Structure 1
């Protein structure tokens, strides 16, 4: 992650007004902000060894998130759940926990991104409103006065038509008076993209199920769009069946969440830009020089045309590789892959970045292809990550060696650098999220690389000597019948 990207990620996460945490798939905190530790009632460092109450909360997060992953193929996404929680002081909180899965640019899941919001006041208000509905059926004037005093948006609808909105609600949608919204359809307020959510909630109510909380994108009267979060309850209003909804403006919160997620997704994007520019500039310089020679030459020279053509093909190759790496991968289709060709492509792609640091990538040279089975773009990501790690470990120039040894059953690919190396403790810590030896690293790169290699039936090992260098070796199964393969 580049320094400015890491700072943006860390600042947004640290200063968010709601509790946020990154949770591993085995149910442990990887990173959390001060808002979360305050909400849970602990000092920031105390969450490193959470109490039994917090561990129970983490177990619940993992179970709900795993359920969401198992139901994702059915387009069912339980992003949120309610959880009662007792602070160490004994105070009972009603938490709403939102869960989403953070993946890298290749779609590989990394960890859970969770948000914790204190809904205690809203739940208390919900209970109060329910009590008010039961006890104040004949006192609607007092009921409306209560709603007017609430700081949150309150809307009463009947058959999808607005019957009442309190002052906070009018302010939310930029209405000057209640007359502007009375007898207005909720379809005019809720954005078209959320109509299906509205319809599903209506069907759920008529089926006898509870409605629960909901998040809407709404259209304000001034043309502005906002996100609101809240809940609805059936009531009797003016002697008729109706619904009362209480909502909170979460537009800023949604913006913070989106910025955080985008920061993580873009943490590796653009890191090759300077190297690619350098790599493309070299053939362009050669083409320009030979064009000048052709203009000054009295006769055609086929050699010049051959060089120009080869340099143009080199530029086209680099651009195509960038397009492949940047294209979203919606499907995962394994196929036979020529390992040597893949390594050559990755080396070509990384040569520009290496040249900027006075480094040379010395790839393996062989005539016969070596076939393995896997996903081309993921395997490229593995060796790009390893080469990037090697380059970041070398600050004073040098060579990076790629060695390939193959048998009938497996291929071993080693990426060897001449960098600062690592000690045994650092090697053992590799693969843990957010453990890194770099000043601006996240520790996620090697974890992603490990996952890709393991998903291809392979393994990755590390050998390192401090101040002498490090060698990462990827072992992956070799295809037995390469003559039948095709890319």
Structure 2
């Protein structure tokens, strides 16, 4: 049977002192080190002999020394028996070691103080983590409070926890009027944005983000404010959602600037278009006027005049019909069509012109979806325009390649490549400008009309060209729009 442990044995305390993972030391009333254990030497880097030649103030940070002596005096005056506080020791290598210092005063039988027993625990890692957290918290606080965008923080229940000064500035509502208010009761959400608001709320409540949604919010004075909304979940250290943040960027000035820019661009385009129309129509009208005057004077053969006048009037009609496509919304009848059939019909229509110009059609329909919703006649007009341009650009003949592919289930790519004369870079940049053309009898509106049709189908056009090598036109169309 094991013997009862005699805790009064001095040897037991000697073993605890020696092997304790916490630094332990005996200090005189004057703060001189009397005895230290190995753990304290490990924490501070000093040897036992180093300690015996020093006092506690030799390893304390300067501004901690006076506070330590104050504590010692209070203990000696009987105002406290022990004390625990955080201190900064200077490691032998010069850096700071944070310690939790516990001091107890040992007294003799008559109550006279003999020495201090100190327990010293290294808390440097914890203090550094606290300081790092404090620094990050201060950075976050500064970011939120000094941000030019309005920021709101919500808890998981949807109540506003805090707002920044920018929110007050942008929307006019004070912090007191919104902090603690539940999400759906916030006063700055206009009725017409209820569906958008509901959708955004559902997203962030299920842990998803909302990025850059353009919407409106109410100022306290009743005016609508154009904003860009971004909302994100807030997670704790374990990845658990504890709320979410919402950021509103005031884009009112930007919207006004955009409207001014668009109006300016519209006026500029209208001016260019008007000048172009006047120039293009004036020429045939001048010719018609001249022939009418000749007819009045009885000079020349009238049948020839009629033919020329008819030709000039037809040119005016062509210009006006193309302008109408650009000027007013066209009635688009979307139907599900096979692009292979549509392109085959266009190639058949232009086949005789191609043969006369020694041009060969090559069609490549890659595996994948081939049907899309479109206005068949309008798309035919686009491909007729582009293919005719390609034929006319190949004076010595060549090949026109039509390729259809669909790499995903969202859009189709149609590529038209020719071996024509190509388009110079300076001309390529002007492509689509009204009445700009390199053709002798062209109006310069064909590309504009084609681009407009593709945009009405929610598609995109890309043109690449190199002089004497040919031109590549890429048309991207969605399968549904």
TM-score after normalising by structure 2? 0.35
Greater C-alpha Rg: 2
